[in-house]
């Protein structure tokens, strides 16, 4: 199920980077990212657990990852 409060957008240009996928999987404290066949998978069931820690946006290349706060229309950006 997609998140009600949070959505995560990963740019296609980095989605298939296995190193980044692993970095995101390791960084997120609530397991929103997983490595699947060497690509970044978003674990939709966990989206609303996001604690806005910014570890994922810090790990991703600039402008390529966005954590959208659906409840107020703002976002955290890498
Ligand atoms: S901001 Fe933190 S909790 Fe939210 S998706 Fe990124 S790493 Fe996970």
CA 63 to chain centre: 13
Instruction: State residue 46's pLDDT score.
Output: 98
Give SS3 for 41.
strand
CA of 32 to the centre of ligand 1 (A): 7
pTM for the model: 0.96
Instruction: State residue 71's pLDDT score.
Output: 97
Q: Quickly state the pLDDT bin for 57 (edges 50, 70, 90).
A: very high
CA of 47 to the centre of ligand 1 (A): 9
Give the Cα separation of 6 and 52 in Å (integer). 10
Beta strand 39-42 pairing with 65-69: unpaired
The pLDDT tens digits for 9-37 are: 999 999 999 999 999 999 999 999 999 99
Give the Cα separation of 5 and 1 in Å (integer). 12
């Amino acid at each position: 199920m997609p998140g009600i409060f949070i959505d995560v957008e990963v740019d296609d240009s980095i989605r298939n980077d296995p190193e980044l996928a692993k970095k995101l999987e390791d960084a997120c404290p609530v397991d929103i990212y997983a490595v699947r066949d060497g690509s970044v998978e978003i674990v939709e069931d966990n989206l609303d657990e996001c604690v806005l820690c910014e570890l994922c946006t810090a790990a991703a290349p600039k402008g390529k990852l966005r954590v959208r706060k659906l409840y107020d229309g703002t976002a955290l950006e890498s």
